[in-house]
């Protein structure tokens, strides 16, 4: 289980442009984008991701509940975690979220899966997956 770095909940004015990867002009971020919508968009395009959950777990070391993003997938762990972290960095800077997956910590992922509904599932269109 890894702790994502802390991020702001909404991007500031200085953070509202995506860095140019080549000689292209930066594109402004849409004002109606958010963390969950961007995660769902990414997971929908990534065939290896089958489901994703948010849930709370108790950390015996810190004696506190922690927010966990659990991802079921069969693929490149590092690539999925990197893109997920980049999406989080745009929207949730002030929120600690622990990352776990069916590859890195199957026990914690199973716990989160058993106690929470997925906000993304590859074969099910949930209300939070639909854009109006």
- Taking the domains of the chain in order of start, what are their residue ranges? 2-13+32-129
In this structure, the strands spanning 2-3 and 49-59 are unpaired
Beta-bridge partners for 2: 99
Number of H helices, E strands in the chain: 3, 5
Cβ atoms of 28 and 17 within 8 Å: the answer is yes
Cβ atoms of 83 and 24 within 8 Å: the answer is no
User: Alpha-carbon distance 49 to 120, whole Å?
Assistant: 9
DSSP single-letter state for residue 8: B
User: Alpha-carbon distance 70 to 53, whole Å?
Assistant: 5
pLDDT at 9: 43
Cβ atoms of 1 and 104 within 8 Å: the answer is yes
Which stretches in the chain have pLDDT values below 70?
Answer: 1-31, 125-132
pLDDT at 105: 92
pLDDT at 126: 56
Residue 82 Rama label (left phi>0; alpha psi -120 to 50; beta): alpha
Radius of gyration of the chain (CA): 15
* Short-list 44, 109, 42, CA closest to 79: 42
Beta-bridge partners for 17: 28
71: which 2 tokens? 């991802």
pTM above the 0.85 mark?
no
């Amino acid at each position: 289980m890894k702790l994502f770095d802390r991020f702001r909940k909404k991007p500031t004015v200085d953070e509202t442009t995506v860095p140019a990867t080549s000689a292209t002009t930066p594109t402004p971020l849409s004002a109606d984008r958010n963390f969950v919508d961007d995660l769902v968009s990414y997971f929908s395009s990534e065939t290896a991701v089958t489901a994703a959950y948010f849930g709370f777990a108790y950390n015996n070391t810190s004696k506190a509940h922690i927010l966990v993003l659990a991802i079921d997938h069969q693929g490149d762990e590092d690539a999925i975690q990197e893109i997920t972290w980049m999406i989080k960095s745009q929207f949730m800077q002030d929120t600690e979220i622990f990352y776990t997956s069916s590859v890195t910590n199957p026990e914690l992922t199973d716990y989160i899966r058993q106690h929470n509904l997925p906000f993304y599932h590859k074969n099910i269109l949930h209300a939070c997956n639909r854009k109006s």
